[in-house]
Amino acid sequence: MMKILFVTSEVYPLIKTGGLADVSGSLPIALKSLGHDIRILIPGYPSALAQGAFEWVEAIPGTKTPKLQKGLLPGTQVPVLAFIDDIHFGRPGNPYLGPDGLPWPDNAERFSTFCHLATDLAMDRLGLDWKPDIVHCNDWQTGLIPALLNDEINRPATVFTIHNLAYQGTFSHDMFLKLRLPLRFWSPNALEFYGQMSFIKGGLVFADRISTVSPTYAREIQGAEFGCGLEGLLTHRSAKLSGILNGIDMADWNPASDPYLPVHFDREHLPQRQEAKALLQTAFGLPIAAKTPLLAWVGRLVEQKGIDLLVDLLPRLMALPLQIVLIGSGDSRFEQSLQHWTKLFPDKFALRLGYDEARARLVEAGTDLFLMPSRFEPCGLNQMYSQRYGAIPLVRRAGGLADTVVDADAVALKEGTATGLLFKEATPEALYDAIERALALYQKPSVWRAIQKSGMARDFSWALSAQQYVELYAEADHDRQT
């Protein structure tokens, strides 16, 4: 049994902006069920605290005031510790962005304070009488922890997981000085990155082990195209870098019981899925049309996700007999052009700007085709949710998408292993060709159903990946000791 402190800036269902929250809300459950003593640490955002029954942690007399509240991850026995710091985290809204859509100006101070607190907790200096064997850090917001812990005697082992290398937490040299970090951290061998301070480098340089969320992405980030300037460092540390595919919470994401869904179905009852399609069309104000192929998009409207490829294609797609529904938010230029197209084709294209969990799930349950033309995708979750819900994913061959979707090529179709469609180039033409290929398959209902059923039969549970993390923790612990 290992004691694990899992440090994250978001965790579903308490606070979520993306896939990191899903991982943080499900991997710890799987690790706990393997018998490990795992505790999650998050910043105490008011909206997160409001969703769980949190209470103050009592300090052992004579120790520092912990500034911690404790609760349970809703519906589980996994303890969550929340760092209470009103100045830095006692504000409503997005964890990273202010109401103007820009990063909070004090993000460096906010997450530096969080990392210091996590370090104190990891060294059992907060009176909890609990010292983890492993500190598992996630993304740049936690990047300073391995750096700070590196200086400690008798420290826990550290693992740093990259959920998206494109977000690095870089700040000015002035900010570095303001944070009062050890001055030796200002070095290319530590946090300095082309004249700036990089939080993520704290994890990449100092963690005993680095992981990312798919084997393909682990390879991709060691090259210039996806390495975001860190490919040299990652190649240097490649012996310590591995890719472990994210799982999904198969109980939560289950079309047979999902409480968000108005109708339920499974792979033996696919005709009931038609009802979900009709409800989805209705929810989006589109005409109910059982035989019209329905395409969908859920996600951030940013270039990473290839939304520009879809926007580019809309004029051509609107000429085809199909419907498209889209939920997302992101760059305003994409939001505006999407709005423009819904006005032109209200019967074919419907849009919901913003974050909407219930609708996102109805989309997975009701759409025929789920589009994910990402330029890069560390793992991606939606393509797994889609397969589970009988929506056929159409994805770019990148990162975790390449590792989780089996293309409907002639061999896979013959062998019955196809679960989706993949395309290679990040161009509107390649996306269009893939959509045409999908529409041709849609005209063959028995083939379509077979692809749906293979996807629905796949096991994307955390069981295997959680076991791989346990092995990674053991390796990190071994490396720390040597």
Which residues of the chain form contacts with ligand ADP (CB under 6 A)? 18-19, 22, 298-300, 327-329, 355-357, 360, 380-382
Residue 133 or residue 249: which is nearer to ligand ADP going by CB?
A: 249
Vertex 466, ends 462 and 471: CA angle to 5°? Answer: 155
Residue 11 — φ and ψ, nearest 5°?
Answer: -150, 125
Residue 116 or residue 300: which is nearer to ligand ADP going by CB?
A: 300
Residue 336 or residue 446: which is nearer to ligand ADP going by CB?
A: 336
DSSP code, position 3: E
Closest CA to 143 of 171, 111, 117: 111
Taking residue 429's Cβ as centre, other Cβ atoms within 10 Å add up to 13
Give the shortest CB-225-to-ligand ADP separation in angstroms. Answer: 18
Residue 108 or residue 298: which is nearer to ligand ADP going by CB?
A: 298
Give the shortest CB-299-to-ligand ADP separation in angstroms. Answer: 5
Residue 78 — φ and ψ, nearest 5°?
Answer: -85, 120
Structure token pair of residue 286: 């589109």
- Helix (H) or strand (E) segment spanning residue 395: strand 392-396
Point out the residue whose Cβ comes nearest to ligand ADP: 19
The two beta strands, 55-56 and 68-72, are: antiparallel
Residue 353 or residue 450: which is nearer to ligand ADP going by CB?
A: 353
Give the shortest CB-18-to-ligand ADP separation in angstroms. Answer: 3
Give the shortest CB-329-to-ligand ADP separation in angstroms. Answer: 6
Residue 353 or residue 412: which is nearer to ligand ADP going by CB?
A: 353
Taking residue 206's Cβ as centre, other Cβ atoms within 10 Å add up to 23
Residue 27 or residue 121: which is nearer to ligand ADP going by CB?
A: 27
Between CA 377 and CA 380 the distance in angstroms is 6
Structure token pair of residue 364: 């997975």
140 close to 200: Cβ distance less than 8 angstroms? yes
DSSP 249-277: -TTTS-TTT-TT-SS---TT-GGGHHHHH
Give the shortest CB-22-to-ligand ADP separation in angstroms. Answer: 5
**83 in helix, strand or coil?**
strand
Between CA 19 and CA 382 the distance in angstroms is 9
- Tell me which residue has tokens 């549970």: 461
Give the shortest CB-298-to-ligand ADP separation in angstroms. Answer: 5
Residue 233 or residue 245: which is nearer to ligand ADP going by CB?
A: 245
**361 in helix, strand or coil?**
helix
Between CA 179 and CA 112 the distance in angstroms is 7
Between CA 389 and CA 364 the distance in angstroms is 6
Give the shortest CB-166-to-ligand ADP separation in angstroms. Answer: 9
Give the shortest CB-4-to-ligand ADP separation in angstroms. Answer: 22
Give the shortest CB-198-to-ligand ADP separation in angstroms. Answer: 20
Closest CA to 211 of 179, 243, 174: 243
Residue 133 or residue 258: which is nearer to ligand ADP going by CB?
A: 258
Taking residue 270's Cβ as centre, other Cβ atoms within 10 Å add up to 15
- Surface-to-core class of residue 182, CB atoms within 10 Å of its CB (0-12 exposed, 13-18 middle, 19+ buried): exposed
Between CA 472 and CA 439 the distance in angstroms is 42
Residue 30 or residue 360: which is nearer to ligand ADP going by CB?
A: 360
Between CA 436 and CA 308 the distance in angstroms is 18
Give the shortest CB-217-to-ligand ADP separation in angstroms. Answer: 11
Give the shortest CB-255-to-ligand ADP separation in angstroms. Answer: 14
Residue 255 or residue 328: which is nearer to ligand ADP going by CB?
A: 328
